[in-house]
Amino acid sequence: MLSIRMEPQSMATSLTGIFTPNMTPLDAAGQINEAELRRYIDWLIERGVHGLYPNGSTGEFTRFTPEERRRIVEIVCDQTHGRVPILAGAAEANVRETLRACEAYKEYGAKSAAIVSPFYYRLSPGAVYAYFRDIALNTPIDVTLYNIPMFASPIDVHTVQRLAEFPRIIGIKDSSGDIASMLRMMAAVETTRPDFSFLTGWEPALVPMLAMGCHGGTLAMSGVVPEVTRRIYNLAKAGQWLQARALQMLLTDLFDRIIFGADFPEGVRIAVEARGFRLGASRQPIDASQVVDRTELARIINSLLERIDGVQT
């Protein structure tokens, strides 16, 4: 029905491709399982993810202490050892604490800090701007804005435009799934900041977003089926939109089952375990009523993996 060729981008942006907001395995005592985390990182890189994003929403950043969040980034950076870039989630109690985390992350070797908009309180655009401005002026490391309006104060188009004036702010990860809004952001920023990265954090919007010029995604599903998200990205780069769209439909189906089948991100945990990792029990106690059918989920994942074997990249 349709075919697209994507030409090489004239101006390289700093962040492209599929980043995995990886979960952090826990041991029987509920502590970070470092060995399993390292094994998981290796597995993801081997299966083609373009980068890692520890301490994202999928990574349950709010359920760790400030010290643990640093330790997670340290382990991920160490294990990655420069093979792929690290977008390290930093969201501490206030500007000062967030900056301290950025300083630590820089030392560990992270490429950029991904900073979620202030949450709990719903702040106005002016306050959201002021928060990121104070960070942009003082951070020792590049910063990616993280917009996730269902959980945190929204970062609107005008605010992104104003924040793009700071060189330290190099992109935005948008988990709203609102493609029209993302296009408005692009229109507002791309002439003055052609290097600014737009990454989607909403799986069902991946292919249309790539078709409209987004640079990639930070996708929970890439932690479950990195082979599939990589394949979609490659198909899009090659202009094979018909095949990309077909895989999008399957990815959306998997996403819907995992995301809407249990409190987020519990479904992701179970799905990653289906790929052979021991993530341990969540620190958020689970109600007995919320039991995911692991066998059914494994079946769907396997079926999806089998189908991409037939897709030519």
- Hey, which residues between 143 and 202 contact its own copies (CB under 8 A)? 150-152, 177-180, 183-184, 186-187, 202
Applying the rule CB under 8 A, the residues between 82 and 121 that interact with its own copies are 93-97, 118-121
Strand partners, 144: 114, 171
Dist CA 102 CA 24 (whole Å)? 19
Does position 133 interact with its own copies (CB under 8 A)? The reply is: yes
Dist CA 53 CA 110 (whole Å)? 10
Applying the rule CB under 8 A, the residues between 194 and 253 that interact with its own copies are 202, 204-205, 207-209, 211-213, 239, 241, 245, 248-249, 252-253
CB-wise, 79 or 181, nearer to its own copies? 181
Applying the rule CB under 8 A, the residues between 255 and 284 that interact with its own copies are 256, 263-265, 283-284
| CB of residue 277 to its own copies, shortest distance in Å | 21
| CB of residue 212 to its own copies, shortest distance in Å | 5
CB-wise, 47 or 195, nearer to its own copies? 195
Number of residues interacting with its own copies: please give it, by CB under 8 A. Answer: 74
Q: Cα Rg for the chain, rounded, in angstroms?
A: 18
Dist CA 227 CA 44 (whole Å)? 9
DSSP track, 54-119: TTSTTTTGGGS-HHHHHHHHHHHHHHHTTSS-BEEE---SSHHHHHHHHHHHHHHT-SEEEEEPPB
Calculate the CA 233 to chain-centre distance.
14
Q: Report the relative pairing of strands 142-147 and 87-89 from DSSP bridges.
A: unpaired
Does position 311 interact with its own copies (CB under 8 A)? The reply is: no
CB-wise, 78 or 263, nearer to its own copies? 263
CB-wise, 84 or 300, nearer to its own copies? 300
Q: Report the relative pairing of strands 169-174 and 216-218 from DSSP bridges.
A: unpaired
Per-residue tokens: 112: 């950029």
CB-wise, 110 or 210, nearer to its own copies? 210
| CB of residue 249 to its own copies, shortest distance in Å | 4
- Amino acid occupying residue 242: L
Does position 28 interact with its own copies (CB under 8 A)? The reply is: no
Does position 127 interact with its own copies (CB under 8 A)? The reply is: yes
Calculate the CA 194 to chain-centre distance.
21
Dist CA 260 CA 216 (whole Å)? 23
> Nearest CA to 175 among 215, 205, 131, 195?
205
Q: Which of 192, 290, 303, 313 binds its own copies (CB under 8 A)?
A: 290
Does position 66 interact with its own copies (CB under 8 A)? The reply is: yes
Dist CA 243 CA 2 (whole Å)? 10
Q: Which of 53, 129, 233, 277 binds its own copies (CB under 8 A)?
A: 129
CB-wise, 151 or 166, nearer to its own copies? 151
| CB of residue 71 to its own copies, shortest distance in Å | 13
CB-wise, 80 or 248, nearer to its own copies? 248
Calculate the CA 118 to chain-centre distance.
17
